[in-house]
Amino acid sequence: MRKKFIAGNWKMYTTLAGAKSLALGVAQGVTDDAVTVAVCPPTCWLVPVAEVLKGSHVGVGAQNVHYAAEGAYTGDLSPAMILESGCQYAIIGHSERRHGLAEPDLFLNRKVKAATAAGLTAIFCVGELLAEREAKQTEAVLEFQLAAGLAGLEAGALGKLVVAYEPVWAIGTGKVATPEQAQETHGFIRKTFGKLFGAEAASKLVIQYGGSVKPDNAAEIMKQPDVDGALVGGASLKADSFVKIVQAAR
Ligand code: PGA
């Protein structure tokens, strides 16, 4: 039985005071470990948010990570830095970086390998553009993103991997995938993952859905057998709506 996992991606929002009070509100609303829960604040708030969440049932993730252990990489952070900031997770390949900043698959692959090797759990995002869905290329796109992004990942790293399916047309648009679309695509991702890493690993893989998840649609989507949680953007910026989504996962 896979445990549901809800992560909040705060993107480039919140002030320091706002981040701390949001983290506190989430910690107060999540009172046990029935669902795995994490928040991913902006990098500059990782340390103070991790401080607020110490001893709570809520983990911390970074929104990005570099693949190198150290070096001349202006503006980047290594997996060890992210870990030492108090994180257990790192989002990799979010569409706002994959498409928005044209991060190549090869980079994402290196990041997944480096992050998992360092002990972080990678939340590896995949998803098709609207034009790709309309052209019936969704499966081909996802197959490629999974094969390229996870190439050469060692069996020992699979326990440190979560896949987030985020159809790009659903991110921040209010257009959520129907439960049937989500199930069909998650089923395909699990099957594809099974071809890459075997059926047992596929049966254990946590696959989050992301894209306009709100308190009023979360339960219906997460009821689908292959939907193991959610990566939440907008609705994670208010403690009460995020906590409601966590409750919907129970
Ligand atoms: P959204 O963002 O919930 O605001 O659509 C999801 C995401 O980008 O992870």
Tell me how many domains the chain contains. Answer: 1
Q: What is the pLDDT along the chain (250 residues), one digit of tens a residue?
A: 899 999 999 999 999 999 999 999 999 999 999 999 999 999 999 999 999 999 999 999 999 999 999 999 999 999 999 999 999 999 999 999 999 999 999 999 999 999 999 999 999 999 999 999 999 999 999 999 999 999 999 999 999 999 999 999 999 999 999 999 999 999 999 999 999 999 999 999 999 999 999 999 999 999 999 999 999 999 999 999 999 999 999 9
pLDDT in tens, 70-100: 999 999 999 999 999 999 999 999 999 999 9
Nearest residue CA, atom 9 of ligand 1? 233
Q: What pLDDT is attached to residue 37?
A: 98
Domain of 84: which CATH number?
A: 3.20.20.70
Structure tokens at 5: 């996992």
The pTM score is 0.98
227: containing domain: 5-249
Nearest residue CA, atom 7 of ligand 1? 233
Site to probe by mutation for ligand 1, drawn from 5, 166, 242 as the one with most ligand atoms within 8 Å of Cβ, is 166
